[in-house]
Amino acid sequence: MEQIFASVLSGGLTLGSYLISTAVSLALGAIIAFSCSFKQRCTQTMMVTLVLLPAIVQTVIMMVNGNVGTGIAVAGAFSLVRFRSAQGNAKDIAMIFLAMAVGIATGTGYIAFAGIFTIIICAVYIILNLLGIGTRKSEEKNLKITIPESLDYSEVFDDILNKFATDWRLLEVKTVNMGAMYKLHYTITLKADVREKDLIDELRCRNGNLEISCGRSSVVEQL
């Protein structure tokens, strides 16, 4: 048992130990990528990153092993990555940290520990997805409504939103068209038996048939 959990680098870094660690890193990275995409939307870029990241981190750890100066320089280089990357959601960040942790474990030669750690975390992640913990029955959407300047926006749509949404909040109000109109930005969660078209039709009657947009955050922000 002690030999199984011992570091493969106990005899020093060799070509054989490096290839074994790299192969295990890529395999565990593939398991992490599969877990990330299990019943979830995961981009190709994210999946490729999760497969390759453990092997990359493992190689870096092996190269700086025992060299304090090089290790500090590499840590500074890794800290610059966040300035070149778009902000992701919590799930993506957790998967990236998992891939980095696996790379550190394989980089120090603890192959068995890396495998057990990956299997446990990925299994818990899949179970949580299957149980649907923290998910909502209805997706939260962004709603943007344009109204004329003469219309008081403070409570003008409260009755309609209470009718169609279980939860809603007014996030932002800004003037458009040289101050002749207001644009209201809401976040809403529609009721389960509600059609989005019915909501928009009632809002159009209230705002004089001016522009209305409703959709997921990434889509509405571009409109």
pLDDT one-digit tens code per residue, 194-218: 888 899 999 999 898 899 998 876 5
| pLDDT on residue 223 | 46
In which residue are the tokens 């889509």 written? 219
CA-atom Rg of the chain in angstroms:
25
Going from N- to C-terminal start, the domains of the chain cover 15-131, 140-220
Q: What is the CATH number of domain 140-220?
A: 3.30.70.1380
Percent of the chain residues past pLDDT 70, beyond the cut: 81
Tell me the average pLDDT across 49-57. Answer: 90
Residue 35: which residues within 8 A CB-CB, separation 6 or more? 95, 122, 125, 126
Q: Say how far apart CA 102 and CA 53 lie, in whole Å.
A: 9
Q: Say how far apart CA 56 and CA 59 lie, in whole Å.
A: 5
- CA 154 from chain center: how many Å? 34
| pLDDT on residue 192 | 80
Q: Say how far apart CA 59 and CA 19 lie, in whole Å.
A: 10
pTM: 0.61
Residue 93 has pLDDT above 50, yes or no: yes
DSSP 24-67: HHHHHHHHHHHHHHTTS---HHHHHHHHHHHHHHHHHHHHHTT-
pLDDT one-digit tens code per residue, 107-158: 888 888 899 999 999 999 999 888 876 665 557 889 999 999 888 888 889 9
Burial of 182 (C-beta count, 10 Å sphere; 0-12/13-18/19+): buried
